[in-house]
Structure 1
């Protein structure tokens, strides 16, 4: 095992390799300066502040290092693998164990936790939804024949081409019900820069409209995707009895959105997605890479933004920063975690878990978050994989269905795996009855034994649950 090693000393055991353990040093540092400044450092927490005239004293205590039991659980990890971790008691707020918690690491699919939470923040709560609309020129409101009909979307990954709910078919039927009989031209508004998503490792065309019918097999190019959506809309309008004079595919260039079409258009028909909680579970439990990227495109689908992958990642981080998540060292290169360029910290993941424990993503703080959590009523916690449950990754157990079976523990977490990378982050109820938020990130050579890393993580989760 090769952890971050501040203040470490070798501990030699007969018949075995050297292990590393923290020096048991009670460390309190008093810093005095003339103006306030941030006091949080890696592995160090601000414990008290007091003002003396124009000076400020901040006393810092080093966060507790991993216990002997935790180090023993992680001892099987090869020395070439770097480990960072953090454990926090969510009832008391006390950090129980910390090691390199602000060190940026490749997080693999634990990235999806960040992506999902950013969407919750963007939609102003887990009860939010995406909407898709048909708009017409404001000057033509109330007319049965209009010159232009525009399809405007928000990156809804649950939209369908046909069906009685949340579909392009329903939009067309609503337009007919409002008295529309003739359309000169139909256009599809592009709010995502598809070229930028070519940088994503998933290597799949991404646009603002990706209907459910494409989950099995989607068009191979952005142009085909945009043309298919336009064709479907024209066909549904005609099926609803509306004449479309010009059916030539028309896609609004992303750059044209800066002219502010919302000031000159009016909504005619609208559909909305189901509540967000369902799609989060469908993304997080089985670790669906495509859905995660679609979630990030919804963050990018902003008429006043650039719609690029880079801008979406930056905006996602800003959204979480607004919740109080420590976003230092974070970089989102994609929404799924397939990219080895993404960087997260154990601190950011635990901060996020803390926020979600207290609010569930509802935007309101629970009066009794423990009871909500234990009763299974916290929607974000429930969207995570439940260890040892179900028969495959599409069950409630998600990617943890075969792990920690028989442990008797209540573990709800997200896994992450790439060559040489293994991560686990989530909740476990400790022996005290308190939920613990934890994150452990392991980065090593690409030939690192992933099964051994997972086994060490499982043993470590059992160790922290038994201690705290």
Structure 2
């Protein structure tokens, strides 16, 4: 079974202006297919160059206008526009699809839209919407150091997935990350005999029983703990993430204190412990954008647990999935009982295209919190996991700069869910899951290209 790796904001009133270009636009997703594994680039890769596919006529990604510009497309016209691309043999023997008009909610194209299937990384849309509903977009997660018994210092995890061990003045894997070096600076002169890492904010196993054995450690997943640094890497920039990222973060603190040989153990801060140092993460909306742009499984799993924390449920894989379902149900989106994790890495995850499309419509028209989801989506031929797609060929050229979507890939599964404007300016949400694709990198690439052609056909469509 293959797993996704790392390939390589703001909504004001009715318009979202993409902010990714200045910060996280350069993140790519490189599929780490077990049958064809490419080395994953560092998360600190340089920003994406301006793609040739974006001509002077599309000098920047199109803004997302959520008002009802133009007429509601005719379902029959949409069906005609999609008739050829949805029959592409590269999609395998089954394509599940839902296309809706965002403003009215009208279904414009559907092929078994209520059928649950493996969503792959499009499941991150659910986590993004839920965590943005549970916390303000400005919320920051706190990591602290407290006093421990016998001269110990306790590194208390607050569930910040991007805390960095990068030295002061050095670039971090994630822009805006809180720094362990800043914790160490606040502890100058404090005597210490050992480091204790406190993961008690989270519960349950740190590796999902629904993940494959080779998923942790890998380039795309680590153990999920309340204390971790650099997306679960033992050191900034590591290609492979850690099976014990909490202990790695503890060792990083010891090194930053100038005592790299200090023992590091797991434990809990004693009752009444005094807080000696704190740092705070980048704002939540930036963490969500980093998750979506990079398709970062570790960020996704940590943020799903933060939804569980907010809802006073166990911050475990099971509790996080239940919390995401409950948070979205409260906003009128029924996800179903098939969600097993927060990232889509579990092959056992089951989510319908209808649920994914409903979440996208919620982000465009619902409460203010989840709206930041749209600003964080990769843009075709421009940013994130879509930066190297929609770059050539008439079949997909219309989607460049116009399609904003979350990608998803597992062995035998290619998915794409996002928003796109029609030629008449109408905003549509779409969710596509091809879950019977032939195995192998070539088949996966062909399926992805076929999904891109469907979204591009929507961009070309007048459909009135």
TM, length-normalised to structure 2: 0.66
Paired position in structure 2 for 1:335: 342
- For the pair shown, which has the larger CA radius of gyration, 1 or 2? 1
Change (3 A) 1:198 1:103: closer
Paired position in structure 1 for 2:267: 252
Aligned partners of 2:306 and 2:164: how far apart in 1?
A: 16
CA contact (8 A) 2:198 2:227 kept: no
Change (3 A) 1:401 1:99: closer
Select which of 205, 229, 233 maps to 1:211: 229
Shift of 1:110: 1.1
CA contact (8 A) 1:286 1:399 kept: no
Aligned partners of 1:345 and 1:85: how far apart in 2?
A: 9
Select which of 382, 386, 398 maps to 1:389: 382
Q: Secondary structure at the match of 1:410?
A: coil
Q: Which has the higher contact order (CA 8 A, sep 6+)?
A: 2
Aligned partners of 1:457 and 1:79: how far apart in 2?
A: 8
Paired position in structure 1 for 2:106: 94
Aligned partners of 2:79 and 2:157: how far apart in 1?
A: 50
Change (3 A) 1:228 1:86: closer
Shift of 1:83: 2.1
CA contact (8 A) 1:107 1:423 kept: yes
Change (3 A) 1:221 1:345: closer
Aligned partners of 1:310 and 1:100: how far apart in 2?
A: 27
CA contact (8 A) 2:289 2:377 kept: yes
CA contact (8 A) 2:390 2:452 kept: no
Paired position in structure 2 for 1:417: 409
Paired position in structure 2 for 1:348: 355
CA contact (8 A) 2:412 2:435 kept: yes
Shift of 1:346: 1.1
CA contact (8 A) 1:86 1:347 kept: yes
Paired position in structure 1 for 2:184: 172
CA contact (8 A) 1:102 1:347 kept: yes
Select which of 157, 165, 171 maps to 2:161: 157
Shift of 1:436: 0.8
CA contact (8 A) 1:197 1:308 kept: no
Q: How many aligned positions are there?
A: 362
CA contact (8 A) 1:326 1:347 kept: no
CA contact (8 A) 1:147 1:183 kept: yes
Q: Secondary structure at the match of 1:285?
A: helix
> 198-207 vs 103-112, which deviates more?
198-207
Change (3 A) 1:363 1:405: same
Paired position in structure 1 for 2:334: 326
The answer to whether structure 1 residue 315 and structure 2 residue 323 are counterparts is yes
Q: Secondary structure at the match of 2:351?
A: coil
Shift of 1:421: 1.6
Paired position in structure 2 for 1:188: 197
Aligned partners of 1:88 and 1:303: how far apart in 2?
A: 30
Shift of 1:132: 0.6
> CA-atom RMSD, angstroms?
3.7
Q: Deviations over 1:379-425 (max 9, x none)?
A: 422321211236xx57xx43635373355661111122223222111
Q: Secondary structure at the match of 2:207?
A: helix
Q: Secondary structure at the match of 1:436?
A: strand
CA contact (8 A) 1:389 1:402 kept: no
Aligned partners of 1:265 and 1:342: how far apart in 2?
A: 40
**1:31-430 to 2 correspondence within 5 Å?**
67-77=79-89, 81-122=93-134, 124-136=135-147, 149-161=153-165, 162-163=167-168, 166-176=178-188, 181-182=190-191, 186-191=195-200, 192-193=202-203, 195-197=205-207, 199=209, 200-201=211-212, 202-204=215-217, 205-206=222-223, 207-212=225-230, 213-217=235-239, 220-222=242-244, 225-237=245-257, 247-252=262-267, 264-296=272-304, 298-299=306-307, 306-332=314-340, 334-358=341-365, 362-363=368-369, 379-389=372-382, 397-398=386-387, 400=389, 402=391, 404-407=396-399, 410-430=402-422
CA contact (8 A) 1:125 1:362 kept: no
CA contact (8 A) 2:422 2:428 kept: yes
Q: Secondary structure at the match of 1:114?
A: helix
Aligned partners of 1:249 and 1:451: how far apart in 2?
A: 44
CA contact (8 A) 2:398 2:457 kept: no
Aligned partners of 1:344 and 1:131: how far apart in 2?
A: 32
Change (3 A) 1:434 1:250: same
Unaligned runs of 5+ in 2: 1-73, 170-176
